């Protein structure tokens, strides 16, 4: 009887626990957490499409995107609640709660990153390499909606905040003619697919070269207006850039990434506003090409132009 009783107890006990496992209800918090998290994905993607396509005005577009972020936050709260209930009551649904948590965390990671940058960086939206005489918006100013930020530079206070937060934002001075600098900037802007609104080449002794364009942020596609000014300099050409956000009082450092001075190290600039000996030799080759018209001189100019194009592409990237 002992063996038979043990045999019966084994299958019976397994069947009993199997029924208990099947009978354990799933946490409703876990179910709703996963549902809301999945729905928040659709809302966030819809918001991104609306913002990038410009289907609605900026406020309703951001409201749709913000609604998706809010749903993700609610799903994360529900997921935490589900973890507590599952632990205390022994319910099932841990996998659902975990999936909801990771989905919500993935959606909220980028806004959290922007929040951290907003805490560290000053609340400015207009960056320029020349705060004393900033490049002005002309064609772009006529395209801006009424509710957009003003195109007039904020002045001394903004310049002080910029200098403290972004000390590398300085003019780019290169040993090249303004026309070569202008052509290189046009190639770089075309490469990065900025929409050119207005472009006027430099005329010696008459006018500066200027390019007005619209750049877009990678994810939401916010429009930032950019103007480049290329003018004659005793050492060659001076390139000034101004980048400003159309909306919001904080750009999270996006505009400063375009005229950041760090790429100068890659092209031999010893310090902002200085030209290294290698650039002086490039300038001599330019002069030889223009004066003699020889093929070897023009080949040297082409090589120098490629160097400057590389520098300018890094200069206007972001």
- pLDDT tens column, 10-41: 555 555 555 554 556 889 999 999 999 999 99
Give the pLDDT band (50/70/90) at residue 87.
very high
- How far from each other are the two terminal CA atoms of the chain, in whole angstroms? 81
Beta bridge partner(s), residue 240: 229
CB distance 118 to 252 below 8 Å = yes
Q: Where are the domains of the chain?
A: 2-120, 126-315
Q: Which comes out higher in pLDDT, residue 37 or 3?
A: 37
Read off the pLDDT band of 263 (50, 70, 90): very low
Give the pLDDT confidence of 184-235 residue by residue, as tens digits: 999 888 888 899 999 999 988 889 999 999 988 887 888 899 999 999 999 8
Residue 243: phi, psi to the nearest 5?
Answer: -130, 130
Tell me how far apart the alpha carbons of residues 313 and 192 are, in angstroms, rounded to a whole number: 8
The pLDDT tens digits for 111-170 are 898 888 888 888 889 999 999 999 999 999 888 888 888 888 988 888 999 998 888 888
* Span of 55-64, 258-267, 280-289 with lowest mean pLDDT: 280-289
**Residues near 311 by Cβ (< 8 Å), separated by ≥ 6?**
172, 174, 263, 264, 266, 267
265 confidence band (pLDDT: 50, 70, 90): very low
Rounded distance between C-alpha atoms, residue 297 and residue 179, angstroms: 17
Predicted local distance difference test score (pLDDT) of residue 312: 38
Mean pLDDT of 265-269: 30
Q: What are phi and psi of 29, to 5 degrees?
A: -60, -40
Structure confidence at residue 267 (pLDDT)? 30
Q: Give the C-alpha separation, 241 to 134, whole Å.
A: 8
Is the model more confident about 185 or about 253?
Answer: 185
pLDDT digits (tens, 9 = 90+) for 35-73: 999 999 999 999 888 888 877 777 777 888 899 999 999
Q: What is the pLDDT of residue 122?
A: 87
DSSP structural state of residue 203:
B
At 89-104, the pLDDT tens digits run 888 899 999 999 999 9
Per-residue model confidence (pLDDT) at position 82: 94
Query: Residue 272's pLDDT is what?
Result: 36
Q: So what's the pLDDT on residue 257?
A: 81
So what's the pLDDT on residue 42? 94
What is the per-residue pLDDT for 220? 81
Q: What is the pLDDT of residue 127?
A: 92
Predicted pLDDT of residue 2: 52
Q: How confident is the model at residue 256 (pLDDT cuts 50, 70, 90)?
A: confident
Can you give the pLDDT at residue 62?
83
DSSP string covering 20-87, please? HHHHSPBPHHHHHHHHHHHHHHHHHHHHHHHHHHT-S-HHHHHHHHHHHHHHHHHHHHHHHHHHHHHH
pLDDT value at position 60? 79
Q: Are 162 and 169 in contact (CB under 8 A)?
A: yes
Helix axes 58-89, 94-120, angle to 10 degrees: 130
Q: DSSP E strands: which ranges in the chain?
A: 126-128, 172-174, 195-200, 209-216, 223-233, 236-245
């Amino acid at each position: 009887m002992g063996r038979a009783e043990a045999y019966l107890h084994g299958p019976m006990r397994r069947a009993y626990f199997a029924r208990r496992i099947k009978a354990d209800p799933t946490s409703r918090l876990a179910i709703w957490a996963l549902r809301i998290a999945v729905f928040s994905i659709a809302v966030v993607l819809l918001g991104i499409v609306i913002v990038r396509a410009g289907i609605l005005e900026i406020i309703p577009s951001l409201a749709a995107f913000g609604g998706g972020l809010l749903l993700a936050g609610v799903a994360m709260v529900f997921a935490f609640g589900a973890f507590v209930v599952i632990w205390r009551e022994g319910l099932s649904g841990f996998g659902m709660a975990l999936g909801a948590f990771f989905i919500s965390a993935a959606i909220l990671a980028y806004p959290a990153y922007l929040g951290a940058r907003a805490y560290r960086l000053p609340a400015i939206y207009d960056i320029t390499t020349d705060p004393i005489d900033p490049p002005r918006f002309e064609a772009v100013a006529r395209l801006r909606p009424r509710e957009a930020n003003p195109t007039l530079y904020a002045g001394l206070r903004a310049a002080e905040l910029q200098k403290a937060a972004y000390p590398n934002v300085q003019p780019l001075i290169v040993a090249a003619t303004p026309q070569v600098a202008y052509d290189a900037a046009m190639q770089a802007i075309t490469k990065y697919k900025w929409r050119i609104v207005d472009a006027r080449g430099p005329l010696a002794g008459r006018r500066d070269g200027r390019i007005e364009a619209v750049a877009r942020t990678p994810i939401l596609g916010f429009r930032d207006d950019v103007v480049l000014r290329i003018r004659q300099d005793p050492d060659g050409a001076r390139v000034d850039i101004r980048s400003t956000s159309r909306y919001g009082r904080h750009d999270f450092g996006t505009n400063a990434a375009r005229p950041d001075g760090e790429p100068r190290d890659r092209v031999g600039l010893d310090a902002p506003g200085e030209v290294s000996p290698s650039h002086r030799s490039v300038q001599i080759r330019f002069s030889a090409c223009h004066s003699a018209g020889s093929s070897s001189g023009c080949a040297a100019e082409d090589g120098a132009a490629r160097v400057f194009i590389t520098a300018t592409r890094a200069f206007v990237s972001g």
